[in-house]
Amino acid sequence: MDLSKLRQFQLTPTTDIKPFQCGDADLNEFLFEDAKHFQKELMAITYLLEYMEKNQTVAYFSLLADKIIFNPDEKGVWNKLNRNIPNSKRRRSYPAVKIGRLAVNEFYSGEGIGTFILDNIKYAFANVKRLGCRFITVDALSTAVTFYEKNGFRFFTEQDKYDETRLMFFDLKTFLS
């Protein structure tokens, strides 16, 4: 797919959402039933990628504010995070942006659109610098864990290894290197 033919824009209350099916009922339902409500309540902002020539929604993602907080039960993870932060800047919490939802239309699965979205999010938060944000977090569905790993995300803990979702993070500082 020629990614230059995609149009990315923020969802608005009047946006007519084009046909979309990603194979996951919860992700489909969020887009059509919940995304506008989350936006109205200032809980998450959703962005759409449309393929104008085919009048389809190719993908969408939602972003919201987050932070990583020190958990005394996970000192090993915290030590790994802190290794890349100068001593004088270490804190008990760090600013993050959370990917609340990310879904690709099943017709376009495997064409690199998810990675394209992640790269754009990484670039925006690492380079545009409208706010301080060191990490990207995601509660990855077990079916998406491999995708996030391939895109540089790491696990916070092994305690959620057998859960339906895994808490993962990406250090934006590594994107700049």
Give me the domains of the chain, ranges plus CATH numbers: 3-176 (3.40.630.30)
What is the signed CA dihedral for 149, 35, 172, 5, rounded to 10 degrees?
80
Q: Residue 61: pLDDT band by 50, 70, 90 thresholds?
A: very high
Q: Read off the pLDDT of residues 124-156 as tens digits, 9 standing for 90 and up.
A: 998 887 778 889 999 999 999 999 999 999 998
pLDDT band at 177 (very low <50, low <70, confident <90, very high): low
Q: What is the dihedral of CA 97, 149, 72, 177, to 10 degrees?
A: -70
**Residue 103: which of 74, 55, 138 has the closest Cα?**
138
* φ and ψ at residue 78, rounded to 5 degrees: -60, -40
Q: How confident is the model at residue 72 (pLDDT cuts 50, 70, 90)?
A: low
pLDDT score, position 128: 80
Distance, CA of 49 to CA of 3 (rounded, Å) = 10
pTM of the model: 0.90
Q: What is the mean pLDDT of residues 81-108?
A: 84
For 13-37, what is each residue's pLDDT tens digit?
999 999 999 999 999 999 999 999 9
pLDDT value at residue 74? 72
What the block records as the tokens of 125 is 């938060």
Using a pLDDT cut of 70, give the percent of the chain over it: 96
pLDDT for the residue numbered 13: 95
Strand partners for 170: 136
For residue 50, what pLDDT band results from cuts at 50, 70 and 90?
very high
Mean pLDDT of the 74-92 span: 72
Q: Is 51 within 8 Å of 111 (Cβ atoms)? A: no
Answer yes or no: is pLDDT of 91 > 70: yes
